[in-house]
Amino acid sequence: PLGFNIPYEFTDGDLRICMSQLRMFLMEYTEIAYKVLKYTAGEINYGGRVTDDWDRRCVMNVLDDFYAAKVLDANFCYDESQIYHQLPPVSEHQAYVGYVRSLPINDTPEIFGLHENANITFAQNETYRTLTDLLELQPKTATAGENRDVVIEKLAKDVLSRVPHPLPLAAVMEKYPVMYEQ
């Protein structure tokens, strides 16, 4: 994965335990225990899976950006482009809906502390995985004297012919607007 030396299998359970501990510490203590929260998340919950020292340092540095008093400032932004920012504590439902609608569909690498070129690496990795999966689908023996590349090309064309054409997103959004009141 991008940003780490070794791939780690972080789960939703890791996130849920961090959220549970955050809630517990906020409810039980008058002062926010940033160091304790950072330690439990970085060294135990997520850090328990992280075996590389440099990767652990990376996790702890990322947590420094979020387990800090500065994030409680009403004007705090999580990125330089100021797309991701705090909402006023007393906001109307429509303010939240408007903010969520203003967020990009695909997060920029910047929010994760990565360079814009991380998107290129991500796309290359996705392409590699897709092509590897196609190779796994092909029979291990050649068919009727066709070489491997011809078989792969036929398989790829067959898969592509079955993929539906993309829907016109703007027309669909206009015809079926998302109603957050549901």
The one-digit pLDDT tens for each residue of the chain (182 residues) are 667 899 888 999 999 999 999 999 999 999 999 999 999 999 999 988 999 999 999 999 989 988 999 998 888 988 888 888 888 777 788 888 888 898 988 888 887 777 788 888 888 988 999 988 888 876 666 556 677 788 788 888 988 899 888 888 888 888 888 766 65
Structure tokens at 170: 């703007």
Contacts of 130 (CB under 8 A, 6+ apart): none
- Class of residue 34 by CB neighbours under 10 A (exposed 0-12, middle 13-18, buried 19+): middle
Q: Which residues of 70-105 are buried (b: 16+ CB within 10 A; e: fewer)?
A: eeeeeeeeeeeeeebeeeeeeeeeeeeeeeeeeeee
C-beta contacts of 168-172 below 8 A and 24+ residues apart: none
Q: What is the DSSP string of 78-127?
A: SSTT--SBPPPSS--HHHHHHHHHHS-SS--GGGGT--TTHHHHHHHHHH
Query: What global pTM score does this model have?
Result: 0.60
Q: Is the dihedral of CA 107, 113, 116, 120 positive or negative?
A: negative
Q: What are the φ and ψ backbone dihedral angles of 77, each rounded to 5 degrees?
A: -120, 140
DSSP 25: H
Separation in Å, CA 3 to CA 18, 84, 118, 171: 21, 21, 9, 38
> Residue 77 in 3-state DSSP?
strand
